[in-house]
Amino acid sequence: MNDRELYCMAREAMKNAYTPYSHFNVGAALLCEDGTVYTGVNVENGSFGATICAERTACVKAVSEGHRKFTAIAITSSRGSASPCGICRQFLSEFGTDLRVITGDDADHLVSYTLAELLPDHFVL
């Protein structure tokens, strides 16, 4: 699974985003260490605080299926590249800060960062 393939999976997943309020669609594809990929989309709610981001949707799906080790996550949005929000950065850091975060305006213009670069001093309980 290369970055482009993972990004394209996020792009495809984005079609299922539920965004009746913002119309800002986000898709994510989380690559597990064993090669399994879980996708996620943002799911908005009329009680705005209950909204969940695509990155956390993908992570919750993976964790609930028994996965704990992740190598990369691709993120895309209806406006092109998308960087994970603060909550998602912290949420993902629970499983390691070596995670590669891949995004870009399209599959031909990808950039990647480590989660440690995006969240250098993550909270640890």
Q: Could you list the active site residues?
A: 55
Residue 110: which H helix or E strand, with range? strand 110-114
* Span from 12-20, 31-39, 46-54, 61-69 in contact with Zn ion (CB under 5 A): 46-54
Residue 64: which H helix or E strand, with range? helix 54-64
* Span from 10-18, 22-30, 31-39, 49-57 in contact with Zn ion (CB under 5 A): 49-57
Q: Which two tokens stand for residue 41?
A: 């989309």
Minimum separation from the CB atom of position 112 to Zn ion (A): 18
Q: Which residue in the shown chain puts its C-beta closest to Zn ion?
A: 53
Least Cα distance to 6 among 24, 27, 20 occurs for 27
Rg (CA), the chain: 13
For 47, which DSSP code? S
Residue among 41, 75, 88, 99 that touches Zn ion (CB under 5 A): 88
Minimum separation from the CB atom of position 86 to Zn ion (A): 8
Q: Which residues bind Zn ion (CB under 5 A)?
A: 53, 85, 88
